[in-house]
Structure 1
């Protein structure tokens, strides 16, 4: 009888600890709110920011014309990113913006890129190249748009963005979304600035996220999803289950020995 009560107490304790590691449903959905409709879309005003180039960026500059002998001198020769599948070749096929904000083009020399948008940089390069190549078509792309996603996501890591813009939700999608233990109300966005690093907290469950100026990511941004307390509780529950299993085995063994002696 004593053994039965002991086992029941241990089982009850294990059940309580296990329940403490459960995740509450209302903490999981993104963009919670009662203003959504199946018939009328909810419009959110949030202008996309214009990214200004800075030192460390890598640009792809392609020049095409009816005079390929002249235009090809501006095209860096190297393995193609699409065929190689290795983002590391970006630094071999692009023009890096140096610490002074400059790039160096063949024949033309140094051009100031820092502080310009990609579109403005394209216009500047087209103007300079036009002095040497007649009717040149110039295409400038930002190659070094990469972000990092860490913490309670299914596939943490560094990801390259092959579009001019990226959002927080797109970044989390690249990382396979949050796990059930990811804290959706306290996601840290770490952004590099000229003065250093800045950290802002994002609440994925709040529909106002779509209006936040931090909804759109910038190159070299990092997202960190911290674990919920349920993650620790679940780990402790697993450890305690092993402990309770061991205690239960000992109690059963003692009960068996006691019965044999009687």
Structure 2
């Protein structure tokens, strides 16, 4: 009876070492945020237009008839947003960063923040209309979240502004195996892909230029060591534990002699 008790105790001690508890510092988001110095500078974000952006551009003015040449009939473009079919006029920014706008012709918009693109179009249209107002929206603003999250996938964003935390929330948060201290963000700027690793356990992450995501960003959550080790062991876990138990039993018997 005593031998059995010792064997069981040794087994549970070894098992506890193998599956030792993870430090909370690897799990908690924005640590020490409550005691960190606040940043009084307001962080503003505005999307920058790029190739393959699909735009809705509507021109309005005091004289509605004067805007007709700039607003193509809605039946010429259909774009589906979250399973709702909407008849809207759309303009796709081509590989050269341009759109073909009515009356004006080719206009380069890629590389401009949305507000500057609005002003540029207003300036061009003002040659034909008095005090025009431009309403420009990005219709295919989306981000993708992959890896150790509960619901990976691509998500269309209506507001044109989303934080990394909001993106992770759309993916139903990280799994317990997600590596929170080293999340990879893939971002394309002017045709060049950039890779940035961020640590969302640190409170100063909110001041990072990657706190707000850009359209078409890809967020990759890598697995932590626990998940990697588990993948390496795989289906052999039961066999290994049984072998360890057997070795402990034999060791106890030998030492007892």
- TM-score for the superposition, normalised by structure 1: 0.74
> SS of the counterpart of 1:205?
coil
Alignment of 1:1-262 (within 5 A): 8=8, 11-12=11-12, 15-16=15-16, 19-20=19-20, 22-33=21-32, 35-36=34-35, 42-43=38-39, 45=41, 47-64=43-60, 66-67=64-65, 69-73=68-72, 77-79=76-78, 81-82=80-81, 84-85=83-84, 93-132=89-128, 136-194=132-190, 196-235=192-231, 239-243=235-239
The Cα offsets for residues 115-165 of structure 1, whole Å up to 9 and x where unpaired, read as: 322122222323434445566543111223211111111111111222232
> SS of the counterpart of 1:61?
strand
Structure 1 partner of 2:254: none
The 8 Å contact of residues 162 and 212 in structure 2, kept in 1 or not, is answered as yes
Structure 1 outlier segments of 4+, above 6 Å: 245-248
Counterpart-to-counterpart distance in 1, 2:34 and 2:84:
43
The 8 Å contact of residues 70 and 101 in structure 2, kept in 1 or not, is answered as no
The 8 Å contact of residues 50 and 111 in structure 2, kept in 1 or not, is answered as yes
The 8 Å contact of residues 143 and 154 in structure 2, kept in 1 or not, is answered as yes
The 8 Å contact of residues 148 and 221 in structure 2, kept in 1 or not, is answered as yes
The 8 Å contact of residues 52 and 118 in structure 1, kept in 2 or not, is answered as yes
Counterpart-to-counterpart distance in 2, 1:207 and 1:141:
32
Deviation of the 1:222 alpha carbon = 1.3
Deviation of the 1:245 alpha carbon = 7.9
> SS of the counterpart of 1:114?
coil
Deviation of the 1:42 alpha carbon = 3.7
The 8 Å contact of residues 76 and 94 in structure 1, kept in 2 or not, is answered as no
- TM-score for the superposition, normalised by structure 2: 0.75
The Cα offsets for residues 141-194 of structure 1, whole Å up to 9 and x where unpaired, read as: 122321111111111111122223222111111111111111111111111123
Deviation of the 1:213 alpha carbon = 1.9
Counterpart-to-counterpart distance in 2, 1:104 and 1:195:
21
Bigger relative contact order (CA 8 A; separation at least 6): 1
Counterpart-to-counterpart distance in 2, 1:137 and 1:44:
33
